[in-house]
Structure 1
């Protein structure tokens, strides 16, 4: 009986890991149906839509498309997903979004860099200085439209690791860089971006 229960539990965990779900031990993030997207995320439905297992965001140079989770990120976590910037030049992951402050981890085609930065986001104001922010750490990487990239982000013991395709990596101390140490998760695009295979786990 115990063996049967263990087998059922392992099967459930396998099914969860293969779904298009942002999942923690408490299953706080979901991403696999339109209804779960609406209940767990704040977004403009004209800017973000879920079709099958792919989330597509649309924005512009003067108004970035933003989607923001309603749940707090764990203290220590790992995020994995694949992303495709089909139009324009910027895709950004908002980490530890707390009030108007967050950590910028992003792919930037214009400068051909991946970046960690200190960000601000005012929901009601698209003007310069009310969104985005300064770059703290950059590393060159060839980036282009209509290409899928694998992104891994890990925050553990106040240390941030950000890597793309397991070959270009940036890291920093949240405390030493005076970066936000708690908050929510979000995504930004200034064109059109597709996200799939998104998972998050508590470390």
Structure 2
């Protein structure tokens, strides 16, 4: 019984340790508790909150709501979640955030596309020129407000795969596209968005 207790305690310490990446001893990371969210992510509590296992973000056209992990993504990983763009037009996954630069993977209801692009974000400025960035790859997809979409992002050997609803698919070489090869994870909304069933998993 004592051995089981020590094993559980050791596993728990590994899960909350200050390792270099957001992968864990179980090779999988999920947000289920507010305490874990506060310890592992940088965010404004007026913009992002966790309730009933659903992460809710609020931003606006002039001030995007951003949440950013404190740890780096693993070299090879898979991110799965469901998203609902309740209000406005943009929901964006920020990949490989390094200082102000990152890879943009996003759903855009105005253009009716899913997109991979080169992104920049300055935390201290809401100037339009200091956020967003050029589109590199896009594919048409019918997108609606207040509807849930299943998103899967996979990075393996510097190849990025971005899929929505197992139907619409984009792929690119991170190295050939001159994109950040490592960094942190984040999410952006310019309105009101909900994320559920978020899982970040290390893959071989």
Tell me the TM-score normalised to structure 2 length. Answer: 0.87
Per the alignment, residue 71 of structure 1 pairs with 71
User: Contact between 1:29 and 1:71, CA under 8 Å: does it hold in 2?
Assistant: no
Per the alignment, residue 15 of structure 2 pairs with none
State how 1:99-178 maps to structure 2 within 5 Å: 99-178=99-178
TM-aligned CA deviation for residue 24 of structure 1: 3.0
Mapped to 2, the partners of 1:66 and 1:136 lie a distance apart of 22
TM-aligned CA deviation for residue 83 of structure 1: 0.2
Per the alignment, residue 198 of structure 1 pairs with 198
Per the alignment, residue 25 of structure 2 pairs with 26
> Structure 2: which 5+ runs fail to align?
12-21
Per the alignment, residue 14 of structure 2 pairs with none
SS state at 1:144 partner: coil
SS state at 1:114 partner: strand
SS state at 2:180 partner: coil
User: Contact between 1:30 and 1:37, CA under 8 Å: does it hold in 2?
Assistant: no
TM-aligned CA deviation for residue 29 of structure 1: 4.6
CA RMSD after TM alignment: 2.0
TM-aligned CA deviation for residue 35 of structure 1: 1.1
User: Contact between 2:154 and 2:161, CA under 8 Å: does it hold in 1?
Assistant: yes
> Structure 1: which 5+ runs fail to align?
13-22
Tell me, yes or no, if structure 1 residue 85 matches structure 2 residue 85. yes
CA pair 40-29 structure 1, distance change in 2 beyond 3 A = farther
User: Contact between 2:30 and 2:199, CA under 8 Å: does it hold in 1?
Assistant: no
